[in-house]
Amino acid sequence: MQHKQDKQLVKQLLKGQTQAFNTFFDSYHSKLFRFILGRVDGDHDLAMDLAQETLCKALDNLKDYRAEAALFTWMCQIARSFIYAHFSKQKRRRRHVVPMAEHPSIRKVLLTIADGQETQPELQLHNQQIQQLIEEVLDHLPNNYGDLLTWKYIDELSVAEMAERANTTMVAIQSALARARQSFQQAFTALLKTDSLDHFYPSNWEYEYE
Amino acid sequence: MNKEQADTILKQLKQRTEPDAAKQQATKQAVMAHWQKNLKKQRRQRFAWTAAVAASVIVVFALVLVINFDNGSQGLPAMYQQVDIHGTIMLEQDSHKAQPMTADVSLKPGDIIASSSDGYLIWHLNDGSELRQGPDARIVWQSDQQIELLTGQLFHNTDITQSAEPFMISTKLGSVSHVGTQYVVKHQPNRLQVAVKSGRVNISRQQKQHTVKGNELMSISPDGVESVHTFTGHNHPMWSWTFKTQQPYALKGQSLYDFVVWISQHTDLAVDWQGHQQATQGVLLQGTIDKMSVDMALKTVFASTDYQYQIDQGRLQIINQDK
């Protein structure tokens, strides 16, 4: 699968276009920050440092990007190598951890949601972990669907406001929103069916302090 | 999972986790600086790489040109084995201005070789025969078996090789080819002369064949064959120059007997020893006869001895002064 928009952005970056750099940074820095944050025990400063290193490394190696995966997925691979290197340097012992979706308590919550039997207290019990999970799913959705869903569910924008922000029509926004929600449903359903988060967490590991 | 369940999950997301705005801005500046620095570096590398490729292409192109040029000159069969250059010889190649010729130059078909009044060449042809280009002569090499005589005289001696191959001297007035012989071709404006010392020579002109035999001289004008008459070689103007352009004969240490044998072979004179063979072997010679005519060489050598000579009807008679 070719990612034409990503490829186009990379081409512009290689030509040195500043506008492309702004798009690149604004699109991916926050996403990378969140991706890393979930893997460094919520250390914000470390997540910022590693996100910066990841972006620099990605920019240095743009020629190697072949658009076989989404640009963000490609950068996540780079981020993982930095995280691994960081913890290796800190002499932290690696341990294979159970991904959040496979964690018994989280999984139970997710299954009750899927069965339509969820209760508000159960959701709130694991609010932080679930929030992180949802954010990561959103960040991996294609075509800026994550932004659309964020506008709708977090910023609580109206369709008209979203249309204005995206510089498009209300009909187009409604249509895009429907596709975004469907995409999210599919991603989450796949998450529950596979019994693992490999789709979203290709490397199922974290680190703990010695 | 249906739409409502998706909504339920999404509504759990109270807010997106965002990095600190000020730190994010600082990060943006740092990443941008890094990106721009890297871009400059890559551009420099690209320029260096492009320059290197361009230089390589130029070098390869030049090499190909040189190799082709070299192959071009080596691809042609050698037109001769060796050339001896005497005096001033000029070479005109590729319609360029004439330049002094050296013995190691590579000739191509179409090259013009011109000898000055004090110069001559001895071409040692591939078949072992010898082609002498006299003074004030201009020739054009056509191939290893054909030469064009623009003006002047050529002496072709095939008697010195056992494996003479066909060779043609072409002029505007006709083409001369040999059948095992020694002959001189002289080409002047509106006049072609062919003098044969031994063997036979064929002359083709306007689809007609003429044969010239030993001791015959044929003259041809634009109107046709003018005359054929016999001649004696040793002092005929058409032959005298061939003797002068012989390889130098080293007199020093040679006997008079040796000299007489040598000069008789080169002039086709029969020797009448008058019983002096043995005595003349004890007469040792000195000095030089370089670039002398037959008569001058004979006079010079015999003047330094007690012997005299006389030429009568193609015979060289040896006479002792004391008797």
Condensed to tens digits (0 to 9), the pLDDT of residues B278-288 reads: 889 888 888 88
* A198 belongs to a structural domain: no
Question: What does DSSP say about strands B315-320 and B270-272: parallel, antiparallel, or unpaired?
Answer: parallel
- Between A and B, how many CB-CB pairs are < 8 A? 105
pLDDT band at B71; cut points 50, 70, 90: low
Angstroms from A57 CA to nearest CA on chain B: 9
Can you name the residues that pair with B245 across neighbouring β-strands?
none
pLDDT on residue A17: 92
* A207 belongs to a structural domain: no
**Does residue A189 share a domain with residue A107?**
yes
**Residue the block writes with tokens 């959103």:** A138
**Does residue A109 share a domain with residue A85?**
no
* A166 belongs to a structural domain: yes
Higher pLDDT, A67 or B268: A67
- Greatest mean pLDDT among A141-145, B136-140, B238-242: B136-140
Angstroms from A196 CA to nearest CA on chain B: 17
**Residue the block writes with tokens 């078996």:** B145
Domain residue ranges of chain B, discontinuous segments joined by +: 21-74, 82-239, 248-320
> Going residue by residue through chain A (210 aa), what tens digit of pLDDT does each one get?
458 889 999 999 999 999 999 999 999 999 999 888 888 878 899 999 999 999 999 999 998 898 888 898 899 889 989 988 888 877 654 443 444 544 555 556 555 554 545 455 555 545 666 777 788 888 888 878 888 888 888 888 888 888 888 888 989 999 998 898 888 888 877 766 654 444 343 333 333 332
* A205 belongs to a structural domain: no
Fold of B82-239: Jelly Rolls (2.60.120)
- Model ipTM value: 0.72
Q: Which residues contact A132 (CB under 8 A, 6 or more apart)?
A: A34, A38, A100, B17
Q: How many Å apart are CA B301 and CA B314, to the nearest integer?
A: 19
Chain B residues touching residue A132 (CB < 8 angstroms): 17
* Three-state secondary-structure class, residue B216: strand
Q: Which residues contact B146 (CB under 8 A, 6 or more apart)?
A: B167, B168, B169, B170
The answer to whether the CB atoms of A185 and B2 lie below 8 A apart is yes
CATH number at residue A125: 1.10.10.10
On whether the CB atoms of residues B146 and B178 are closer than 8 A, the answer is no
Which of B11, B35, B36 should be substituted to probe chain A, the one whose Cβ sees the most A Cβ atoms within 10 Å? Answer: B35
Tokens of B95: 């319609």
**Does residue A104 share a domain with residue A189?**
yes
DSSP designation for B77: P
Which of A61, A113, A157 should be substituted to probe chain B, the one whose Cβ sees the most B Cβ atoms within 10 Å? Answer: A113
CA separation, residue A160 to residues A15, A165, A170, A180, A183 (Å): 36, 9, 6, 17, 22
How many helices (H) and strands (E) would you count in chain B?
Answer: 6, 17
Nearest partner of B282 among B312, B311, B313, B257, judged by Cα: B257
* A181 belongs to a structural domain: yes
The answer to whether the CB atoms of A44 and B19 lie below 8 A apart is yes
Angstroms from A34 CA to nearest CA on chain B: 7
**Does residue A105 share a domain with residue A73?**
no
**Does residue A87 share a domain with residue A24?**
yes
Q: How many Å apart are CA A140 and CA B141, to the nearest integer?
A: 82
**Does residue A110 share a domain with residue A80?**
no
Measured between its terminal Cα atoms, the distance across chain A in Å is 42
Phi, psi values for residue B148, rounded to 5°: -105, 125
Domain count, chain A: 2
Taking CA–CA distances from A30, the nearest residue in chain B reads: B18
Q: Which of A61, A91, A121 delimits the end of a domain?
A: A91
Q: Provide the CATH number for the domain formed by B248-320 in this structure.
A: 3.55.50.30
Chain B residues touching residue A148 (CB < 8 angstroms): none
Q: Which residues contact B241 (CB under 8 A, 6 or more apart)?
A: B120, B134, B135, B153, B155
pLDDT on residue A29: 95
**Does residue A84 share a domain with residue A11?**
yes
The answer to whether the CB atoms of A21 and B32 lie below 8 A apart is yes
* Three-state secondary-structure class, residue B92: strand
Taking CA–CA distances from B6, the nearest residue in chain A reads: A185
Structural domain span for residue A55:
4-91
CA dihedral B298, B300, B304, B308 (to 10 degrees): 30
Please, what's the b/e burial string for A109-148 (b: 16 or more CB within 10 A of its CB; e: otherwise)?
bbeebbeeebeeeebeebeebbbbbbbbbbbbbeeebbbb
Measured CB to CB, residues of chain B less than 8 Å from chain A are 1-20, 23-24, 27-28, 30-32, 34-36, 38-39
Residues 148-207 of A with CB under 8 A from B: 149-150, 152-154, 181, 184-185, 188-189, 192
Taking CA–CA distances from A178, the nearest residue in chain B reads: B3
Phi, psi values for residue B152, rounded to 5°: 100, -160
**Does residue A111 share a domain with residue A74?**
no
Is A41 in the B-facing interface, judged by CB distances under 8 Å?
no
The answer to whether the CB atoms of B24 and A29 lie below 8 A apart is yes
* A187 belongs to a structural domain: yes
Angstroms from B56 CA to nearest CA on chain A: 24
**Does residue A129 share a domain with residue A156?**
yes
pLDDT tens digits for A158-168?
A: 888 888 888 88
CATH number at residue A77: 1.10.1740.10
Chain A residues touching residue B17 (CB < 8 angstroms): 33-34, 37, 131-132, 135
Question: What does DSSP say about strands B168-171 and B146-157: parallel, antiparallel, or unpaired?
Answer: parallel
Tokens of A138: 């959103």
Q: What is the mean pLDDT of chain B?
A: 84
**Does residue A124 share a domain with residue A83?**
no
Minimal Cβ distance to A150: which of B16, B35, B39: B16
**Does residue A84 share a domain with residue A63?**
yes
**Does residue A26 share a domain with residue A76?**
yes
